[in-house]
Amino acid sequence: MLKSHSCGELRKGNVGEKVTLAGWVDRRRDHGGLIFIDLRDREGTVQVVFNPEVSPSCHGTANDMRSEYVINVSGEVALRPPGTENSQLSTGDVEVIASDCTILSVSETPPFYINQEIEVEESLRLRYRYLDLRRSRMLRNLTLRHQVVKFIRDFLDARGFLEIETPIMIKSTPEGARDYLVPSRVHPGKFYALPQSPQQLKQLLMVAGVEKYFQIAHCFRDEDTRADRQPEHTQLDLEMSFVTEDDILNLMEELLTALVLAVKPEIKVIKPFPRLAYDDTMERFGTDKPDLRFGLELGDLSDIVAGSEFAVFRDTVASGGRVKGICAPGCGGYSRNQLEELNKIAQGLGARGLLTVALGDAPGSLNDLTLDMVKSVAARYLTLEQVKEIAGRLGGDMGDLLLIVAGEPKMVNKVLSELRTEMGRRLELADPNTLAFAFIQDFPLLRWDEELGRWDSEHHPFTAPKDEHIPLLDTEPGKVHSKHYDIVCNNYELASGSIRIHDSELQHKIFSLLGYSDEEIQQRFGTILEAFHYGPPPHGGIAPGIDRIVMLLAGEETIREVIAFPKNQSAVDLMLDAPSPVTEEQLTELHLRLRNE
């Protein structure tokens, strides 16, 4: 080793020791005579003093050192002279008096600051990711990620789980997201696909008798990216045999609670995790991944306004639509501009408009409310009683602002859910130091796909229907609920899982319901159906997204901040410049020809 100690570990106790350090020049302070260098490695920073009276040659070398040069230094650890200690630095009581040093490598001036926490354009960071990762924020995030994965491995190992790797090149099954494909050289015209998740493989491991499986698995989906979505991401893939829904949920609750306590004890977690039914959640929050750190729940006003003079509302209800709203406390004095901003959000998500009702512009008792205090374009079509009833339904008080959307139920929920999030942000209702985990359960098994004109799986086709709903598969498939569950947290979907079908006949029936011919079923799912003829155990599992968990624990806004080498929004790796063209020879070997488009 070129170093006897790490820079960050030196303390008073090391005084008098002769040490050898290696690292990067974080900062250089040249006093003409003395030169100070803050030497940085992964563990921290320590001050090195180059004194011409101690070593003239060393001082000369230090003269040439610049930021991010890599150097090797030997010298004695000394107590700093009284009054020159630096309490900002964990090593600030001591310094290393250089008696010997070498420049191991030089550095050009970096394209952005390594030693300062200044926001830099993300594309530049991504292009020089290896420099970006030198910055303390990124080092912190990578370290946290390591701790999270290590904790998960230890936790599951202690409970008898086997970590098993599954292949990255598997078979394409063209439902769900688009596959990334890998052309085969040996088999002209045939392709492997990268796994969107190891779903079928982990179920086959259950048939194999593994009983408790997990994997830190890479998953690939060729879909557009988001702040919380990348073309490839990592999930904790987990599957167990002989379990019920509760067994999985209890395990996950224990894991997540212990994880947070282990790596971020200062973060608050609410225990036990609430368990919410999908239908209720949609009704109350308009989304299946609500932020439960604050209230602002949606209220249904359809019955109140059905008979009102306000035609927009009356007609919406009459034609099968819904009228719902939320209450923004203390926002009754919102300016026209502020209201217009909210209106734009609503319209951007498909609402015809947003009706705002200001219950006066100052706090007070709702009993004192009069109609001329109500500011709303609908004010003259509503009675005072109706306004009070609406306010009551939404938990509104004097000085509050009611936000009301009318229309097709799905859109109404989406818009209000977004407005709820927006108002939560504006009013700072969500404690940034809390992770509000919750389980969402009791999902519908199927959803009607308008475009394809057929039923589609809400989760995936291996999800087991609720036992008591199985008869409905033949009569009213839309009413069948399933043993599918999600873990949500702070407006993110963290995990999705289900108890699986382990009966080949029932599985076949589901595939048929989804519109597959027997031939297609055989071709796409033949393996798992065949495996189910050989004693499959009842089983189920779940797959939490590692990137999102680490992002939330790190307090970051995008998963790119917790991935060492992420791709940008256009799925490009700016550092490696991938994807990139390949040679004609490569294409020929793969039996491929590019289309002219």
The site for RNA (CB under 7 A) is made up of 27, 29-34, 36, 38, 47, 49, 51-53, 66-67, 80-81, 83-86, 88-89, 92, 95, 109, 111-113, 118-124, 126, 175-177, 196-197, 199, 221, 223-229, 348-350, 414, 456-461, 558, 560, 568-570, 572, 574
Output 36 or 191, the one with its CB closest to RNA: 36
Output 385 or 597, the one with its CB closest to RNA: 597
Output 293 or 459, the one with its CB closest to RNA: 459
Distances (CA, A) of 72 to 36, 75, 96, 222: 15, 10, 12, 46
**Contact call for residues 203 and 460 (beta carbons, < 8 A):** no
Calculate the CA 29 to chain-centre distance.
Answer: 42
Output 52 or 183, the one with its CB closest to RNA: 52
**Contact call for residues 562 and 547 (beta carbons, < 8 A):** yes
Least distance to RNA, CB of residue 110, Å? 7
Q: Pull the structure tokens for residue 255.
A: 């894991």
SS3 185: coil
Output 536 or 545, the one with its CB closest to RNA: 545
User: CB-based contacts of 121: which residues, under 8 Å, 6+ apart?
Assistant: none
Q: Which amino acid is at 185?
A: R
Distance (Å, whole) CA 558 – CA 536: 40
Least distance to RNA, CB of residue 12, Å? 14
Q: Which candidate, 175, 114, 7, places its Cα nearest to that of 511?
A: 175
Least distance to RNA, CB of residue 453, Å? 14
Q: Pull the structure tokens for residue 323.
A: 């009228």
Burial of 9 (0-12, 13-18, 19+ CB in 10 A): middle
Q: Which amino acid is at 229?
A: R
Output 48 or 355, the one with its CB closest to RNA: 48
Least distance to RNA, CB of residue 500, Å? 11
* 151-177: b (≥16 Cβ within 10 Å) or e: bbeebbeeeebeebebeeebebeeeee
Output 23 or 399, the one with its CB closest to RNA: 23
Q: Which candidate, 430, 426, 424, 403, places its Cα nearest to that of 332?
A: 403
Least distance to RNA, CB of residue 196, Å? 5
Reported as type and span, the H/E element at residue 529 is: helix 518-531
**Contact call for residues 291 and 265 (beta carbons, < 8 A):** no
Q: Please give the backbone phi and psi of residue 388, each rounded to the nearest 5 degrees, phi first.
A: -65, -35
Largest CA distance in the chain: 94
Burial of 304 (0-12, 13-18, 19+ CB in 10 A): buried
Sequence length of the chain is: 597
Output 42 or 66, the one with its CB closest to RNA: 66
Least distance to RNA, CB of residue 121, Å? 4
- Beta bridge partner(s), residue 220: 232
Q: Pull the structure tokens for residue 215.
A: 């994997």
Output 506 or 590, the one with its CB closest to RNA: 506
Output 259 or 405, the one with its CB closest to RNA: 405
* Count of alpha carbons within 13 angstroms of residue 190, beta-carbon side: 9
Least distance to RNA, CB of residue 85, Å? 6
Q: What angle do CA 232, 288, 560 make, to 5 degrees?
A: 25
Distance (Å, whole) CA 346 – CA 349: 5
Output 6 or 257, the one with its CB closest to RNA: 6
Least distance to RNA, CB of residue 364, Å? 36
Distance (Å, whole) CA 310 – CA 37: 74
Q: Pull the structure tokens for residue 432.
A: 């940034």
Least distance to RNA, CB of residue 297, Å? 20
**Contact call for residues 295 and 421 (beta carbons, < 8 A):** no
Least distance to RNA, CB of residue 51, Å? 6
Least distance to RNA, CB of residue 355, Å? 21
Least distance to RNA, CB of residue 290, Å? 14
Output 175 or 279, the one with its CB closest to RNA: 175
Output 45 or 308, the one with its CB closest to RNA: 45
Distance (Å, whole) CA 580 – CA 165: 29
Distance (Å, whole) CA 288 – CA 35: 60
Output 126 or 328, the one with its CB closest to RNA: 126
Least distance to RNA, CB of residue 137, Å? 14
- Beta bridge partner(s), residue 79: 94
Q: Which amino acid is at 160?
A: G
Output 34 or 384, the one with its CB closest to RNA: 34
Q: Within 10 Å of residue 148's Cβ, how many Cβ atoms?
A: 23
Q: Which amino acid is at 410?
A: K
Least distance to RNA, CB of residue 338, Å? 16
Q: Pull the structure tokens for residue 22.
A: 């290696």
Least distance to RNA, CB of residue 496, Å? 7
Q: Which candidate, 450, 452, 338, places its Cα nearest to that of 403?
A: 338
